[in-house]
Structure 1
Amino acid sequence: MPDLNPPATLPLPGGRCLGADETERHLSLMLEGAPLIQLRLERGSPLHVRLQETNDRPVGPALWAACYWLFTRDPGCQCLVWHLDEHPGEALLSGLLVATAHPNEYACERTLFWQLPQPWLGVSFSGSYPQQMIITDGKRHPRRPIKPRGEVYRRFDARLGAWVSLRTLEIEQDLARFNRWQNSPRVASFWQEEGSLEQHREYLSQLQHDPRVLTLIGCFDDQPFAYFEAYWAKEDRIAPFYPADDYDRGIHMLVGEGQHRGPHKVASWLSALVHYLFLDDPRTQRVVAEPRADNARMIGHLHNQCFHCEKEFDFPHKRAALMILGRERFFDRCSLM
């Protein structure tokens, strides 16, 4: 059951904020203090929701806001059953709602809700990018879209009470912190990329011009704390070690700021990173990682986010654990809030 004394507001990307007056049987949502939607609730599994009033606002966005509020309030809730007198065309077209076998009854499934890309994504071209197969260094793979610039993902983590966001790395802006992070003994023991500013400038410049890799900075409340590399597995050195699909993505991860370590922080940023990659292109069916096989802590964090260890294998520079998370498993067990 949800806590009926939640935080008074739930921030949305773009600066707006949801507020609510919620009781056991009623929910009134406000957007920026203005009435948005009023609902009658019938608690149970599933939770039944009856629309009472939408206050002259577009119904589709109001239904989305109510689903977001209810799923965020109760991460154990897997389905909302809506009773609507009018046909919710926009919500059905988007996948927010699906029709049930009963007249005027529609379901919102958590597994579908979190696959809707907006408002979490920034500018993204991958989802609509056409497929053309090409060959690079003897590897046949889809042509990759132009890499984005700027913020690519933003979501308020209600558990932490903080924004988690991802933006692309900008060399002039991020070189000094990248250098500091890579030269810290804790990071260097796993990444083995210690070096000077110029060496790291060259490293990042090469990746910037590599269509296979997207370099990202992770932020909590807009403060950088981590560096991630998201790569297309089909063109990567990992491809010979498992049957990589055309749109599999892989991740390398580095937390540079010590105050943002800990299981609760990892759960936030790791789920956000995987969520972003699955949203960025709906054809992506798996996210993979290959931490060092003796990195028990990171492997444990990956297990906690529903990755499984397929096997161990040998790169030239390390023995690695092949960790895999499928799209269906991620969204079926999705605990985002």
Structure 2
Amino acid sequence: MPGNARHTAMLLPTGQQLDVFDQELAPQWRCQSNDQDLLTVELDDTTTRVLQSTDDPAQLCRAAWAFFVSRPTVTALEFSGDGHPGFMVQRDNDSAVLERDMLWQLTGDWLPKAAAFPYPVSMVMDDSGRRHPRRPAKPSGEVYRRFDTGIQAWVSLRVLDIEEDLERFMRWQNSQRVAAFWEQSGTLEAHRAYLESQARDPRVLNLIGCIDDDPFAYFEAYWAKEDRIAPYYDAQDFDRGIHMLVGEEHHRGPHKVKAWLNALCHYLFLDDCRTTRIVSEPRADNDRMIQHLQARRFAKPKEFDFPHKRAALMVLQRDAFFERCELS
């Protein structure tokens, strides 16, 4: 690439570095790794034509990710010839298109423990008389990692470890700001009992959010069909729900909410390709959280009354999330 091309180094969770060269005057865009060309794209006002690409589908996905991050307004890459990977849209004229919203639905490097196949559907009845799919065993350790160029930091999710995270969890729940909405302040023993109960519950997965490996937030991801929210809307078999709290003051702010909320929703959609909706039910007067959710394309179809609170039903559709793909 000529010397006047702008160079950007982009990092992957595997430790691999992608070197991006963007020559705006040509205009041409190129991605390399270890001095090996992975993807070269010609850009003009009407097309994003691929001039050269690697034959390795995994490396192609990584290079395409780098392209869509660096060119956020572009929605597709156009490939000529045949023999393209199955995750592309094949055309009749020996060409194919790689669409941004389809690429982001591949687990790629973001899920270090991604299952090779969706967990088979086996319907069961729980103790409350609710019929739902049997859920897979809960994962352990880190489940998601991505470098977010918006905040220039790694955003990751790991399964909560009671011994490691108990005191942190208690400190967060006992903060005045969090307690105002969660109403779960209490002793170390009470919080241990709560987390142990959660760990035994196949309905819920307790997660710790980290920025550059610094724990800052607690999330509960639950299967909505088995949750108390199910009677209040038409819950489907693979809907997921989320409860969220940011415990560390220095990681608050809308720019970080965008990074971690995108990561959390991305993980849940990738975790099972049959999940088409993510729901949340913040308190109806929690205007700030509702605004954050709406900024990420959650809709607010209604408010309703839980026994303990007036809640806003917030719903994120899978296609709405990936259509915008604000994953930098």
With the length of structure 1 as denominator, give the TM-score of the two structures: 0.91
- Deviation of 1:21 after TM superposition, in Å, equals 2.3
Determine the structure 2 residue equivalent to 1:26. 28
2:30 aligned partner, one-letter code: S
Output the CA distance in 1 between the equivalents of 2:298 and 2:20: 35
Partner SS for 2:197: helix
Structure 1 stretch displaced more, 38-47 or 315-324: 38-47
- The answer for unaligned runs of 5 or more in structure 2 is none
Output the CA distance in 1 between the equivalents of 2:209 and 2:186: 22
Q: Which one has more relative contact order, counting CA pairs under 8 Å at least 6 apart? A: 1
1:56-97 deviation per Cα after TM superposition (whole angstroms, max 9, x unaligned): xx43233223211110002121111123x4522xx22xx1x2
**2:17 aligned with 1:14:** no
Output the CA distance in 2 between the equivalents of 1:196 and 1:7: 52
Work out which of the residue numbers 276, 279, 297 in structure 1 matches 2:267. Answer: 276
1:112 aligned partner, one-letter code: M
- Deviation of 1:7 after TM superposition, in Å, equals 6.5
Determine the structure 2 residue equivalent to 1:109. 99
1:8 aligned partner, one-letter code: T
Determine the structure 2 residue equivalent to 1:43. 44
Output the CA distance in 1 between the equivalents of 2:7 and 2:251: 23
The answer on whether the counterparts of 2:282 and 2:290 sit within 8 Å (CA) in structure 1 is yes
Output the CA distance in 2 between the equivalents of 1:261 and 1:250: 22
1:117 aligned partner, one-letter code: T
Output the CA distance in 2 between the equivalents of 1:282 and 1:152: 16
Work out which of the residue numbers 76, 81, 84 in structure 1 matches 2:78. Answer: 81
- Deviation of 1:20 after TM superposition, in Å, equals 2.2
The answer on whether the counterparts of 2:166 and 2:192 sit within 8 Å (CA) in structure 1 is yes
Partner SS for 2:147: strand
Output the CA distance in 2 between the equivalents of 1:44 and 1:107: 17
Output the CA distance in 1 between the equivalents of 2:229 and 2:39: 51
Output the CA distance in 2 between the equivalents of 1:44 and 1:37: 23
Output the CA distance in 2 between the equivalents of 1:298 and 1:60: 39
Change (3 A) 1:118 1:62: closer
**2:230 aligned with 1:230:** no
- The answer for unaligned runs of 5 or more in structure 1 is none
**2:120 aligned with 1:130:** yes
The answer on whether the counterparts of 1:165 and 1:218 sit within 8 Å (CA) in structure 2 is yes
Determine the structure 2 residue equivalent to 1:190. 181
Output the CA distance in 1 between the equivalents of 2:113 and 2:219: 18
Determine the structure 1 residue equivalent to 2:296. 305
Change (3 A) 1:131 1:310: same
The answer on whether the counterparts of 1:249 and 1:277 sit within 8 Å (CA) in structure 2 is yes
Output the CA distance in 1 between the equivalents of 2:82 and 2:50: 14
Partner SS for 2:92: coil
Output the CA distance in 2 between the equivalents of 1:181 and 1:327: 31
**2:64 aligned with 1:62:** no
1:20 aligned partner, one-letter code: V
The count of aligned residue pairs is 322
Partner SS for 1:80: strand
1:21 aligned partner, one-letter code: F
Mapping for residues 95-244 of structure 1, pairs under 5 Å: 95=87, 97-103=88-94, 105-125=95-115, 127-136=117-126, 137-244=128-235
- Deviation of 1:228 after TM superposition, in Å, equals 0.1
Partner SS for 1:190: helix
- Deviation of 1:6 after TM superposition, in Å, equals 6.3
Structure 1 stretch displaced more, 64-73 or 197-206: 64-73
Output the CA distance in 2 between the equivalents of 1:213 and 1:285: 18
Change (3 A) 1:200 1:304: same
The answer on whether the counterparts of 1:121 and 1:276 sit within 8 Å (CA) in structure 2 is yes
The answer on whether the counterparts of 2:6 and 2:21 sit within 8 Å (CA) in structure 1 is no
Output the CA distance in 2 between the equivalents of 1:175 and 1:126: 32
With the length of structure 2 as denominator, give the TM-score of the two structures: 0.94
CA RMSD of aligned residues (A): 1.7
